[in-house]
Amino acid sequence: MVFQPGRYQYGAWRASITLGPAVREFIGNSRLAFTLPKWPKRNVVMQPGFMRDLDVAMFQNGEWSADIYSNGIGEDENPTAIAEVKAGLLSSVNEALRNAGFRT
């Protein structure tokens, strides 16, 4: 889910992904990594435990989260809608799961 916590400024978002039980059983203790898509005028800030590199995210205990900001432009003028960010994140996670051999 991508949402705007009440204390965040307009244009600042929180992304949070929690893996379901079947995926968690499949990956066991491994930390699933996925590549962050590149979006014009969006900046993703991850805490160290949720990142392997600047553009590679990692799940920790079946969860991942980050802050997403409108970068250098007002939210209303941003060419990358937050819905596109959410779809891109889910697509990247699903691709990483497919590459790991997970089948639904």
pLDDT-derived band of residue 28, with 50, 70 and 90 as boundaries? very high
Tell me the H-state helices in 16-57: 21-27
Mean pLDDT, residues 63-90 taken together: 95
Contact indicator for 33, 54 with CB cutoff of 8 Å? no
Q: Are strands 2-3 and 12-18 parallel, antiparallel or unpaired?
A: antiparallel
pLDDT-derived band of residue 54, with 50, 70 and 90 as boundaries? confident
Instruction: Give the total number of structural domains in the chain.
Output: 1
User: d(Cα 104, Cα 92) in Å, to the nearest integer?
Assistant: 16
- Please give the backbone phi and psi of residue 41, each rounded to the nearest 5 degrees, phi first: 65, 25
Ramachandran assignment for 68, one of left (phi > 0), alpha (psi -120 to 50 degrees), beta (any other): beta
pLDDT-derived band of residue 51, with 50, 70 and 90 as boundaries? very high
The alpha carbon of 52 is separated from its chain's Cα centroid by a whole number of angstroms, namely: 13
Instruction: Show the domain range for 46.
Output: 2-100
Is the full-model pTM beyond 0.85? yes
